[in-house]
Amino acid sequence: MKPADLDALWMPFTSNRHYKASPRLLCAADGMYYTDDSGRKVLDGTSGLWCVNAGHNRRPIVEAIQRAAAVLDYAPPFQMGHPQMFEAATALAGMAPAGLDKVFFVNSGSEAADTALKIAQAYHRVRGDAARVKLIGRERGYHGVNYGGVAVGGIAGNRKHFPVGLAAVDHLRHPLDIDRNAFSRGEPAFGIELADELESRIVTLHDPSTIAAVIVEPMQGSTGVILPPKGYLKRLREICDKYGILLIFDEVITGFGRLGAPWASQRFDVVPDILTCAKGLTNGAVPMGAVLVKPAIHDAFMAAAVGERAIEFPHGYTYSGHPLACAAAIATLKLYRDEQLFERSAGMAPAFEEAAHSLRGAPFVKDIRNLGLVAGIELESRPGEPGARGYDVFLKCWEKGVMVRFTGDVIACSPPLIIDSAEIGRLFATIGDVLREIN
Ligand code: PMP
């Protein structure tokens, strides 16, 4: 099933020249497994890219998409709508953390981040506080690859080609502190004081009344599974409240059961003003993202617009609330409920934690971080070659029929929430075997 020609495609997020010499091709998927082009089954240890939370090719989702495609291929969202758009929003609002029940649809996590940042800035403006324009993100934050997300994001490599970006941003330090917190299980004990940096920075370097929003991933996933220290997010919430700053949680990875609760907001008991999600919203089957906001934010826009043709928020995408995406979302959210997959994630988490931490003492393992059904295994870097060991582990696990993700020298595991004990055992045993084989 190898394509005849690999040249035309410029692949995203891939070392193209190297990959094309020996491509890894995923040709089919079912439940916990991919099938590659040779017919070999590969255990999915990463839910695709943190998105296939209910497992692959689930019939209720596939059939909902097929039914929708046969009825309504497309409907413009510009002064128009279609019934499933409203139904999907109601279903998502019904599952959201309390108080976040207005839904704006987009097509990806990147679009969700940029939309959330625009909503935050525009919100202050529509209620007459136009000085609040600055945005604060974090080092090692990842909010997608669009301009706003890259600006508030903190991955140096993603920013270096775009030095202009957005001027009005600042970054907090990330809370990873292996010296004090190595091998923590769940939230690390040390580091709450890092949240106080928000207050000191805005008071010392900015005028707090110029800050529109703070955006963080409750757990930083893409840059190596960085968990918030105990009390850290609550402290951020308090500081935002004190200074009238909006708090945005990017739950693109942490939403839909990943951390053993429906949302990280619930897991950490902190409700943001704006929440972004994507990925698990459709179980990865159709691109879709969403921004959830508190009614007060939504209502401020509605109140500010005067006249029948006044568009309250001049923003949206051709494919916002696409009929196929909405059908997929409705079916996915129902499946999560019917199969109680978020409860299942919480139930499997202790076994997952034990298996992840069984790698303590394996060659090169410097730290293991985990919560719910996520684990990050940080390796000592090979001298002079940062990231090389992580890449080797990824390639060798693939050869052994297990898909893991690497970010530099951190191996991330985030399997579908339907994983069973035997598969958890195989996932971490394979990583252990590989660590004993590499140098
Ligand atoms: N935010 C976070 C926290 C993410 O992890 C990701 C993707 N990994 C994104 C945003 C971007 O999502 P997308 O790739 O769908 O644009």
pLDDT digits (tens, 9 = 90+) for 276-326: 999 999 999 999 999 999 999 999 999 998 888 999 999 999 999 999 999
Residue 262 located in a structural domain: yes
**Of 280, 311, 338, at which residue does a domain stop?**
338
Nearest residue to 336 via CA among 269, 279, 418: 418
Q: Is 414 in the pocket of ligand 1 (CB under 6 A)?
A: no
- Separation of CA 439 and ligand 1 centre (Å): 32
Digit-coded pLDDT (tens) for 106-132: 999 999 999 999 999 999 999 999 999
135 in the same domain as 24: no
CATH number at residue 34: 3.90.1150.10
Both tokens of 276, joined, read 């972004």
What is the reported pLDDT for 156? 85
What is the reported pLDDT for 165? 67
- Separation of CA 143 and ligand 1 centre (Å): 6
Decide if pLDDT at 166 tops 80.
Answer: no
Report whether 346 contacts 372 (CB < 8 A).
Answer: yes
332 in the same domain as 360: no
ipTM score here? 0.99
Domain that holds residue 289: 63-338
Residue 424 located in a structural domain: yes
Reported confidence tier of residue 161, pLDDT bands at 50, 70, 90: confident
Which of 252, 253, 279, 282 to mutate to test ligand 1, by most ligand atoms within 8 A of the CB atom? 252
Sequential DSSP letters for 213-249: EEEE-SSB-TTT-BPPPTTHHHHHHHHHHHHT-EEEE
Nearest residue to 215 via CA among 111, 300, 266, 141: 141
- Separation of CA 110 and ligand 1 centre (Å): 6
Nearest 10 degrees: Cα torsion 32, 433, 389, 383: 160
Q: Is 224 in the pocket of ligand 1 (CB under 6 A)?
A: no
CATH number at residue 272: 3.40.640.10
Determine the Cα–Cα distance for residues 208 and 201; give it in Å rounded to an integer.
9
DSSP 28: E
Determine the Cα–Cα distance for residues 281 and 414; give it in Å rounded to an integer.
16
Reported confidence tier of residue 1, pLDDT bands at 50, 70, 90: low
Determine the Cα–Cα distance for residues 165 and 155; give it in Å rounded to an integer.
13
What is the reported pLDDT for 157? 86
Q: Is 108 in the pocket of ligand 1 (CB under 6 A)?
A: yes
In the predicted model, what is the mean pLDDT of the chain?
Answer: 96
Give the helix, strand, coil percentages of the chain, each rounded to 5. 40, 15, 45
**Of 320, 338, 356, at which residue does a domain stop?**
338
What is the reported pLDDT for 159? 83
323 in the same domain as 428: no
Report whether 211 contacts 243 (CB < 8 A).
Answer: yes
Nearest residue to 329 via CA among 318, 320, 342, 317: 320
- Separation of CA 256 and ligand 1 centre (Å): 14
Q: Is 250 in the pocket of ligand 1 (CB under 6 A)?
A: yes
**Of 313, 338, 363, at which residue does a domain stop?**
338
- Separation of CA 116 and ligand 1 centre (Å): 13
What is the reported pLDDT for 386? 97
The 3-state DSSP class for residue 401 equals coil
